[in-house]
Amino acid sequence: MDTRNPDDILKGLTEELSALEETDKRNQLATYINFLLLNDFNGLIYLLYRVDVDEKKLRSILDEQKDQDASLIIADLVLQRMREKEQSRQSFKTDDEIPEEDKW
């Protein structure tokens, strides 16, 4: 089990994933999620909470696709949520750069 701060783990995972191609991201994340499923379920719950994956949606998809690999399903939902958050940040991003002398 990883003894680092969960927020540090999530930040590191996010940085690692951003450098990979989409298929590699999915596979790498699924491998990590599978590790959490087997070894640190609380860590998985924390990851899903921090990324803000919809619990009802996750349960529904897992129930519908019982014959599929749960780690891949969860990885897809995590990546989807991360993309949604990035799109949201971009849509609210402003070009109004505050001059350095005006910053607190």
Residue 26 has pLDDT above 90, yes or no: no
How much of the chain exceeds pLDDT 70, in percent?
Answer: 79
pLDDT for the residue numbered 90: 81
Average pLDDT, the chain: 84
- C-alpha torsion angle, residues 3, 4, 5, 9 (rounded to 10): -120
Contact between residue 36 and residue 44 where contact means Cβ atoms under 8 Å apart: yes
Q: Which of 17, 3, 35 is nearest to 76 (CA)?
A: 17
Predicted model pTM: 0.71
User: Looking at this protein, which amino acid is placed at residue 13?
Assistant: L
* Confidence band of 81 (pLDDT split at 50, 70, 90): very high
